[in-house]
Amino acid sequence: MSATLVLFYLLGAACLLGGLGVVASRRVIHCALFLLLSLVSVAGLYLLLSADFLALVQVLIYGGAVTIVLLFALMLTRVTDLTTRLDNPQKPLALVAALALFLILVATVAFTPWGPQAPERVELVALGRSLFSQWAVPFEIASVVLLVALIGALVIARPEEDQ
């Protein structure tokens, strides 16, 4: 078993563990931390997939921004107290649905001929260049998306001046 494979299993396990923690933990703060674990492991997986830039982005955006925002939100909404129930009554059904879908997806992965696998590194420079040439339009749109989200967050979350 190669080292990369071991690494993959480790990262994968951490990722899934984090995921499970997010959905199963009884304390919201723990959930947030588990999420961080999972997201960071995903960044590790990106490295395994030789997507270095993506790993960086992942750590920066998710590990930094998103998690912190989430923690803020959790604190602002004061749901940190231990007594609150976090799961809803349809939990068993949710489990059945998720498992069923998982089985389907695994079967799909297993039975689909994915074609010749020739892993190859993506050059960071090429990626960067294409992002601003080939993908200029989506890039522009994405910027508008961020702007809109900003405006929306401001409008919606900002306390009214007149109150």
Partner 1 sequence: MSGWSLPGMEWAWLAPVLCLGAFVIITLWGRRLPQGGAYVAISATGIGLLLSLFVLRDLLFSHPRSFGFTWFEAAGTRLEIGMILDPLSVLMLGVVGLVALVVQVYSLGYMHGDPRFSWYFAAHSLFAAAMLGLVLADNFLLLYMAWELVGLGSYLLIGFWYERRSAAEAAKKAFITTRIGDVGLLIGILMLFNVTGTFSISRTLEAAAAGDIASGTLTAATLLIFLGAVGKSAQFPLHVWLPDAMEGPTPVSALIHAATMVAAGVYLVARTFPLFQAAPGALEVVALIGLFTTLLAATMALVMTDLKRVLAYSTISQLGFMMLALGSLGYTAAVFHLMTHAFFKALLFLGAGSVLHSTGKMDIREMGGLRRRMPITTITFAIAALALAGLPPLSGFFSKDEVLGAVYQNQGPIIFGLTLLAAFLSALYMARLLFVVFGGKLKPANDHIHESPLVMTLPMMVLGLLALVSGLAAMNWAGPLLGLPAQYQGIGSFLFLHEAEAFHARPALMLSSTAIALLGLFGGWAIYSRGWIRPEAISRRFAPVHRVIENKYYLDDLYGGVTNRVVLAFSNLVALFDRLVINDRGVNGTAGLPVLAGGKLRYHLTGKLYNYGLAMAAGIVLIILAAFLL
Partner 2 sequence: MIALEHFLVLGAALFCIGIYGVLARRNAVLILMSIELMLNAVNINLVAFAMYLRPGEFVGQVFAIFVIAVAAAEVGLGLAIVLRLYRNRASVNVDEIDLLKW
Partner 3 sequence: MNLWLFLPEFLVAGLAFLILGTDLVLPPARKSLLAYGGALGLGGIMAATLTLQGEEARLYGGLFLVDGYALFFKEFFLLLGILILLASVEFVEKNLSHAGEYYGLILFSVLAMMLMTASGELLTAYISLELLSFCLYILASYGLHDPRSNEAGVKFILLGAFSSAILLYGLSLVYGLAGTTEFVAIAGVLGSGEDLGPGLLVGLVLVIAGFGFKVAAVPFHMWAPDVYEGAPLPITAYLSVASKAAAFALLLRLFAVAFMPAMDEWRGIMAGLAAVTMTVGNLVAIPQRNIKRLLAYSSIGQAGYLLVGLAALSPMASSGMVFHLAGFAVTNLAAFVAIIAYYNLSGKEDIPDYAGLAERSPLLATTLAVAFFSLAGLPFFAGFTTKFYLFAAAAREGLLWLVALAMVNSLISLYYYLLVIKQMYMVPPSEPGRLRVPGLLKGILVLLLFGIVIIGIYPAPLLEAIDGATRFLFP
- Chain residues binding partner 1 by CB under 8 A are 88, 90, 93-94, 97-98, 100-101, 104
Count residues near partner 2 (CB under 8 A). 87
Cα angle: 58, vertex 105, 61; to 5 degrees: 10
d(CA 32, CA 60): 16
Of residues 94 and 142, the one with the C-beta less far from partner 1? 94
Q: Compute the distance between CA of residue 144 and CA of residue 118 in angstroms, rounded to an integer.
A: 36
| Residues in region 5-34 near partner 2 by CB under 8 A | 5, 8, 12, 15-16, 19-20, 22-23, 28, 31-32
Note whether 136 binds partner 2 by CB under 8 A.
no
93, 129, 136, 140: which one contacts partner 2 (CB under 8 A)?
Answer: 93
Tokens of 64: 């930094």
Three-state secondary structure call for residue 37: helix
DSSP per-residue letters across 26-40: SSHHHHHHHHHHHHH
Question: Which parts of this chain interact with partner 3 (CB under 8 A)?
Answer: 104-105, 107-109, 111-115, 134-138, 141-142, 144-145, 148-149, 151-152, 154-156, 160
